[in-house]
Each structure stands twice: as C-alpha cells, then as structure tokens.
C-alpha cells in the first residue's frame, strides 16, 4: 500500500485534525476519484445481499457512489450518506439519492434498512457510535458490512514512491512508514471493527471475509489513480508532479505496465432479532 492512507481499509494513524483535513480533500477530485478507483468484487456484493430480508441498502460514506452503483445494479434501492457535498453532488448526478451528513449526525427518522454498508469509509466514522447506529437502523436479519481494498504495489514501485514522498513531504505524519505493509496489519484493523460490532450486543457473531483478485495497470491508469489517494490530494502541483514523475519512471522500468494484487477485506454481522437481543 502507498505510505499514505487513500480513503482505504486500514484505520489511519494520523492526528485527528490531520485526518479530518485528508477526509475533506477527496471531493476536490471527485471525477478523477470515480473514474480511477476500482469497484468491488461481485462475489462480495452477492454475499452481503444473500439472506437479508429485503433490498433497501444504506451506504455510509458513499463518496461518488462506486459501491452504491454495484448494489443498484444488483436490484437494490440505495440511499447514500456522505459528509462531502461535492462527492454527494457527483453521486446524485449519476442517479444515487444522497443525504449530506456524517453518519453520526445523520437523522434517520423511522427509516429502516436491510443492509448498511461502508466501502472504504468506516475509519472516518466513530466506531462505537457507528456500530450502534447501524444496529438501530437495520431490520432484524439485516446485515452490516464494512469493507475495503488492500493493495500493495510491487516493491519496484512502492520504494520509489516512498522515497519521493519523503523528499516532498519530509514532515508528513505518515513519514517513516515502510514502503510496503503486511496484510496482517489490515486484517487486524478489520478484527477491531468486528470487536466493536460485537460490543453492541445487537448482532450475531461477526465474520471476517477476504476476496483476492488482480488488476493490471498501465502507466497512465496508475498515475490517474495515485493523486486520489489521501496525502496526495492536498499537495501543490509541483510536489505531486515530482512524485508522479518518480513513479512513472519506475513503471517505465517494468515495461510500462504492472499487475496489482488486491485483497478486499470485510467485517460483517447480521442484526439479531428482538427475541435474540432480549435473551442476552
């Protein structure tokens, strides 16, 4: 994974105020974000929807609607919650109803859903309040699914990226991280999400899922995606250009293309019925 947190699956270690600035930076690049970011495995979507009581889905931190459109294509009625009005406007223009709010502040009224999903967004949500709110808006038998991608570029790309980023942003809160981080770090983050869901006592025992897949990138495709990752979204043009130049040369040295190994992780649980909750 790049050394900066690209609105991805692992909890960020940045200071709260820095994390908030990063969170608010993605909307400035909404179109590029939507075009460059990968979608989610179809098997994940199907597994989330299997066995739930209906087809009403709430997408927490929906962004531009990448995951939401997959659930719509599977026949679901999806409502997005997104704190960034720019991202919300982009998603609305592509057919997704969106309400602008953080999940914690959002007012559901008496609305209930069959699934609550969070695609690469749950690390921006207060985990205790978020799990409790998800339980409150889910119908019995509905599913909470928190998921996101983990990806590690080849060392031939990760190391030049880390070196260039360190030169450009020497005082970054992400400086000093290794160029590549083990998958176990991200699995541990999802285990923590599962523990927080379990602590609500409103769900059946959480599960952790893993989907492994690959995607090939050209130089142009990867350099289009990289500026949408957290930490790069707020760089000055000349800073970004230096990093992209270093990574571009590295891709050239690999023949102009490379294959990315992706892992999509999920922490998920089914909302217990009223009778099951009362026996706890």
Do residues 47 and 64 touch, judged by C-beta distance below 8 A? no
Q: What is the DSSP string of 157-204?
A: HHHHHHHHHHHH-TT-TTTT--SS--HHHHHHHHHHHHHHHHHTT-BS
| pLDDT number for residue 144 | 98
Do residues 100 and 82 touch, judged by C-beta distance below 8 A? yes
Taking the alpha carbons of 122, 176, 181, 240 in that order, is the dihedral positive or negative? positive
| pLDDT number for residue 30 | 82
Indicate the pTM of the whole model.
Answer: 0.86
| pLDDT number for residue 235 | 87
Question: How many Å apart are CA 244 and CA 250, to the nearest integer?
Answer: 10
User: Could you tell me how far CA 31 lies from the centroid of its own chain?
Assistant: 17
Do residues 261 and 140 touch, judged by C-beta distance below 8 A? no
| pLDDT number for residue 217 | 97
Tens digit of pLDDT per residue, the chain (280 long)? 333 334 333 444 444 544 455 555 554 568 888 998 999 999 999 999 999 999 999 999 999 999 999 999 999 999 999 999 999 999 999 999 999 999 999 999 999 999 999 999 998 899 899 999 999 999 999 999 999 999 988 999 999 999 999 999 887 655 556 656 789 999 999 999 999 999 999 999 999 999 999 999 999 999 999 998 877 888 899 999 999 999 999 999 999 999 999 999 999 999 998 444 333 3
| pLDDT number for residue 263 | 96
**Can you tell me which residue has the tokens 């939401």?**
68
- At 219-253, the pLDDT tens digits run 999 999 999 887 788 889 999 999 999 999 999 99
């Amino acid at each position: 994974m790049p050394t900066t947190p690209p609105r991805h699956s692992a909890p960020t270690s940045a200071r709260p105020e820095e994390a908030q600035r990063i969170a608010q930076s993605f909307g400035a690049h909404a179109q590029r974000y939507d075009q460059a970011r990968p979608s989610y495995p179809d098997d994940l979507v199907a597994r989330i929807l299997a066995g739930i009581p209906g087809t009403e889905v709430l997408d927490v931190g929906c962004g531009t609607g990448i995951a939401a459109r997959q659930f719509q294509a599977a026949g679901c009625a999806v409502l997005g919650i997104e704190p960034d009005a720019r991202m919300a406007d982009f998603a609305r223009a592509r057919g997704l109803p969106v309400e602008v709010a953080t999940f914690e502040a959002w007012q559901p009224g008496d609305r209930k859903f069959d699934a609550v999903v969070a695609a690469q967004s749950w690390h921006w949500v207060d985990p205790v309040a978020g799990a409790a709110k998800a339980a409150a808006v889910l119908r019995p038998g509905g599913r909470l699914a928190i998921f996101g991608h983990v990806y590690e570029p080849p060392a031939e790309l990760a190391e030049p990226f880390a070196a260039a980023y360190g030169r450009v942003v020497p005082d970054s809160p992400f400086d000093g991280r290794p160029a590549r981080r083990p998958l176990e770090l991200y699995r541990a983050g999802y285990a923590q999400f599962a523990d927080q869901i379990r602590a609500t006592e409103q769900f059946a025992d959480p599960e952790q899922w893993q989907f492994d897949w690959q995607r090939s990138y050209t130089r142009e495709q990867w350099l289009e995606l990289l500026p949408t990752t957290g930490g790069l979204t707020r760089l000055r043009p000349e800073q970004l250009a230096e990093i992209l130049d270093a990574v571009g040369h590295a891709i050239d040295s690999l023949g102009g293309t490379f294959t990315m190994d992706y892992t999509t992780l999920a922490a998920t649980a089914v909302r217990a019925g009223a009778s099951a909750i009362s026996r706890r």
